Structure 1
Amino acid sequence: MYNQGNQTISSKELAYIADSIKNEELLTKLCVQGAVECQNSSLKQVLSQLSQERLQNVSTLTNTLQQQAGITH
């Protein structure tokens, strides 16, 4: 277990976060690919927005891992 202040996170939770990062990265790639290949401008916009949301999730999850590891930027 890792302790950050009064918050404790288990190794299993850290592994879940790492898996979530991989999944979000894959979803981002798929959304970007779909936006590039899409002919429908409305769908292209939605896929672009989804890719940005996925990137934000990756950032949030990465920051969580860094905080738990004691790494700060």
Structure 2
Amino acid sequence: MYSNQENQNISTKELLYLADTLKNEDLLAKLCVQGALNSQSQSLKQTLSHLSQERLQNISVLINTLQQQSGITH
């Protein structure tokens, strides 16, 4: 893992990977929500809703980690 050294930067390749990961997590969350809305099975609705929440949590963790690494706050 990364240390908290000020001189350690995230490479362009790593930033691109993280950007792709964020896009993928966002797409998966949207697909799960859409599937939950269209499903007639209550069990499937619950599973897809849970998966969408997990994806949103992953997005939050990725963004928070990026903010910590870059020193950005909002």
Normalised TM-score (structure 2): 0.83
Q: Once the two structures are superposed, what CA deviation does each residue of 1:4-23 show, in whole Å capped at 9, x if it has no partner? A: 62355322111111110010
Higher-strand-fraction structure: 1
Report the equivalent of 1:12: 13
Please tell me whether the aligned partners of residues 31 and 47 of structure 1 are also in contact (alpha carbons under 8 angstroms). Answer: yes
Q: Percent identity?
A: 68
Count of paired positions: 71
The structure 1 segments of at least 4 consecutive aligned residues displaced by more than 4 Å after TM superposition are none
Normalised TM-score (structure 1): 0.84
Q: Once the two structures are superposed, what CA deviation does each residue of 1:9-47 show, in whole Å capped at 9, x if it has no partner? A: 322111111110010000000000000010000011000
- Distance change (3 Å), C-alpha of 1:72 and 1:4: farther
- Cα distance in 1 for residues equivalent to 2:40 and 2:66: 38
Please tell me whether the aligned partners of residues 4 and 68 of structure 1 are also in contact (alpha carbons under 8 angstroms). Answer: no
Report the equivalent of 1:63: 64
> RMSD in angstroms over aligned alpha carbons?
1.9
1:27-38 alignment, distance < 5 Å: 27-38=28-39
